[in-house]
């Protein structure tokens, strides 16, 4: 299996513009009185799109912050920091947009 290529900044910008359009569409749906199910379906599509962009950005960060550290101790520190960032972002962690002090919003990793 061939590894996937990282999206370019231009591709990420294109995805974000598409998300903007989706959000404007949701606002119109609310103005038009569309059903709750239709609105929630579109909200979930936006969330999925944002998660995809976020994962790509975090993946690029991980590659740049860990890959270039020559000292193994610094690599571990950089990897832990990247994992903490992921836990703040990851929906499964209950952390989407949450304050890190909110229950369920912080990484299970130790602070050190």
**pLDDT reading at 71 higher than 60:** yes
pLDDT per residue over 11-62, tens digit each? Answer: 999 999 999 999 999 999 999 999 999 999 999 999 989 988 988 888 887 7
Rounded mean pLDDT of 82-94?
Answer: 69
Domain boundaries of the chain, sorted by first residue: 8-53, 69-112
**CB-CB contact of 93 with 104 (8 Å):** yes
Q: Provide the CATH number for the domain formed by 8-53 in this structure.
A: 1.20.58.1000
Write down the pTM of the prediction.
0.64
Q: What is the mean pLDDT of the chain?
A: 78
CA gap 64, 42 in Å, rounded: 33
Structure tokens at 10: 């231009």
């Amino acid at each position: 299996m061939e590894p996937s290529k990282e999206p370019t900044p231009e591709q990420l910008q294109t995805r974000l513009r598409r998300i903007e359009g989706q959000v404007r569409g949701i606002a119109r749906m609310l103005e038009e009185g569309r059903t709750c199910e239709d609105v929630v379906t579109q909200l979930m599509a936006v969330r999925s799109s944002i998660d995809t962009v976020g994962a790509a950005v975090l993946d690029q960060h991980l590659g740049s912050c860990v890959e270039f550290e020559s000292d193994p101790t610094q690599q571990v520190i950089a990897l832990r920091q990247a994992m903490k960032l992921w836990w703040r972002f990851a929906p499964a962690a209950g952390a989407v947009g949450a304050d890190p002090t909110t229950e369920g919003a912080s990484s299970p990793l130790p602070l050190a």
